[in-house]
Amino acid sequence: MINLQILFAIVFVIVLSLLLVIGRKRIQLQRIFFPFIYIILYRTKVGIKFMDWVANKYREYVKLFGYISIGVGFIGMAFISYAIIAIMVKLVFQPETTT
């Protein structure tokens, strides 16, 4: 009997392929780092009116949320940079070997 996880993976690939074929006129390929990284975008207008309504009605809150998000992003970037450097230093100066 086929594994349930493999079956779901096959169904997922088939459904995704059908969606890509059906909506191929709305698909746009973005080349981020040319030979290695690509992003496939599906162009749609779903949610644009809602986003405009929220941006107009709650303009000050949206601005505040944006500024707070930028600050949180910088703090997160600093934390991740520190964590990566700390792990690299630990890896170089305290290597653990298995015997």
Amino acid sitting at position 55: A
Say what the pTM is. 0.57
Question: Each residue's pLDDT tens digit in the chain (99 positions)?
Answer: 779 999 999 999 999 999 889 988 998 989 988 888 999 888 889 999 999 999 999 999 999 999 999 999 999 999 999 999 999 999 898 877 666
What DSSP element (H or E) covers 42? strand 37-42
For the chain, the average pLDDT equals 92
Sign of torsion, CA 75 81 84 88? Answer: negative
